[in-house]
Chain A
Amino acid sequence: MVLPFGLLMLTALLVSLAVARQAPSEPIPGRADIITIDGLRAFGPLERPPVVFFHGKHTEALAKAQKDCLACHPQGEKYLSLKYNRTADTDKQAVMDVYHDGCIGCHADYRSQNQPSGPVTCGECHVAEKAVNNIRAGIGLDKSLHYRHVKAAEQKCERCHHAYNPETKQLYYDKGKEGACLYCHKDQTQENRIAYRQAAHLDCVGCHRELSLQKKTAGPMECAGCHDPEAQALIAKVADIPRLERNQPDVTLVKAHREDEKVDAQKPRMALVPFDHLKHEGATQYCRTCHHAELTSCASCHPIQGHADGKMVKLSQAMHEQDAQMSCVGCHTQKQLRAECAGCHASMPAEKVWAGEAACKVCHMPQEAPVARPGYEMLASEMAASLIDARRQIPPPVAVEDIPETVIIDHLVDAYEAVKMPHRQIVQKLSDLMRDDALAAAFHTQPTTFCQGCHHNSPASLKPPQCGSCHGRTSDAMNLTRPGLMAAYHEQCMLCHEKMGIEKPANRDCTACHAKRAETARNN
């Protein structure tokens, strides 16, 4: 364990020499067009390392020579084959020969014409470790991009959307059942479904190419056009996107059962949850953010008891799982990370936020549902609408004169003078930030709810207790989880400022909050 000192020194010297000898390496330029050619994996273990191939480099070089995709990709059934110089993988030797003859042959041609060219020996392509900086970012059709395609395809959904008929083994268009490509096309090819990546490149790039051959406006055909983060940022956004039509409700009651389950409608066990679907459509870029497997109600896969279709995830988990992006609570928890929320919420334990009865009641409306007109069963949508209206009855804010204007913090005056905290200003600033936020309005049920951001661990009220009611002058030996008064103030103010991105006053600029006290005053 303990090396002799001399050996240690020698090691240190060698290490320092080695470090010193390394010239500072140039950063590797990022590429979005890196493809790993390892097609032979299908025929067993590879004999040589797979080839790291820059697709964009080749399209550029070929474009200069007035060649297009056909130079490498033969025509397939509908669009060009995604494979290099072949439409199918027959056997190992054949596939290997295609690459070796094609790549080396082409490189040799370019070489003989004294043009920039690629490698021709084995070791130059089959490199075990190649330093590359892959910046490829995935791309999806968000609402804006989807709408641009809808417009270009003149509402012909069948241009992209299809379903598979196992009897005829044909793709067909199933109107009204459109969904995200990812619902069927997964990471890996499964039976009759090609992998998502193949499906996207086959159809997207294929269609883009056809349109460009017809001299029409078309999307990108080279890798970077879709997958370079900088290029993605340049994709035009449609300002006012018309709503996607897929028979979805504007408002609904959250279902708790599958379609085929018998439900005793007379006995709902839980307060009803009205759901404003329209509002949530506006808050997300993709239907699949919530509808992650298919465009049906959550309960069709996640009923109360769970179901194999939904991997036995129960409704309560699907709705409340804090770490899941597509659960209600998970997504709302993410929203609390926004700067205007994080000031208070960063120091609030998540379970405390979500465990209170008040939080449950925000969604689970009490059973005082509006009484249905006699002889008339209220539709779920009508019931939901009226409940949502009831939910939107926001109590009036606290009157300005009820908010203390300035709070003097002088319990601990010693090295520094008292702090004059602009209390009302802070409250009003926070109110302004939340004014137009429906989520904040819904969950901050009382006008005094957000006072509890600072006045925590006490009931919401117009006259909450002062910090000193709980935080002693020094740290509490009996309760080490509760800071003393000075730490409580500093932590509360500083953490909030940090999370809200407020740079001034800086944490270590003591006099920005409290003036330094004269020595003479201190000793009295």
Chain B
Amino acid sequence: MRVGIPKVLNIWSTHQFWVGFLTALGISPENIVFSSDTSEDQYREYGKGRGTVDCCYPVKCMSGHYGELIFGQKKKIDILLSPMIYSLPSFLRGHVLDTLTCTRVMAGPENIKAGFLKERDVFAENGIRYVSPFVSLGEPEKVPKQLHLALKDVLDLSEEETVRAVEAGYRALETFNQRMRQKSREILTWCARHDRPCILVLARPYHMDPGIGHEIEAELQAHGFPILWMQYFPIDEDLMHWLFGEEIRAGRIKSPFDISDVWPSSYSSNTNEILWGAKVAARCPWITCVIRFSSYECGMDQPTYTPTQKIVEASGTLYFKFGDLDATKPAGSIKIRVETIVHYVEKYSRDIIRRKLAALPPRCPLLEDAASTSESAPLAA
């Protein structure tokens, strides 16, 4: 049994769950196939003519991923699994109103599948079962039922098996996230110890896809600046307490993960995280620069542009936005902007670090960290 998963949208932040879940059901890892990174070629070859509507690029490119899994595999897949992810297991859960996905993220599969069904059933023609479970990953108690319902016939599942597999999925995801956060902490510690700046990326998880985020952060990294992704920022208590403790004591927020001071309508998971990331960036001394990615026609990001920028810039932290990203990499303009960013980061980081440090309590846990004192610069999380 081979299962193909289109590597799109919030699969980027939950893929470990799906791998953990499926392997727990006895599907070997080599039989879990993810589509490749997004590319113009992928869309041209496999997705063209299957789009049903004009919308943001991260959704539009999904047809290419579906097509690649259907037509582009040497060893055919039996199941195309494209979950409708309704909510996410965010670290902000419990501190925000909800952790829903974007309405296009949750409904994307319904939209894209239409392109493969409107004339004839392309899945059936290729001997593939299309499975699209509706799944509230933000509410783990609902997930076994939801996945059992969607997959019981296809994978011949019992309820107990599903419960166990879901648990394994969450464990795998958690382990992965923790590892990534640990890595980020090491980077941040290195920056703190060497009084060096790093750059924080504020973006949706799928901007990690080279075809969607266009690896802009890699160009900055090539200039020697360590890069952190907000999704994997370390959330250890000591660090959070150092960054937010004062404000909690002053009653401005209830916890380090409370974003109600900047974003009262905290329904959307990735949006909440972006706003939280902006708050962290405004406070953490060694983050002297934020780069924000946003895709062409992203409706979720639109209301956040100004608040995010204001949050970051309130502490003098540099802020640069790369908006309207779509299929083509604007290499020329990226190059020019990267040079500008490098210039500013080099020129102002010392001051920014100093100013932000002065606004925080003296004992920084990173400087007290015994762990990770590597002398060579770790570059990316």
A and B held together in a complex: no
Residues of chain B touching chain A, judged by Cβ–Cβ distance below 8 Å, are: none
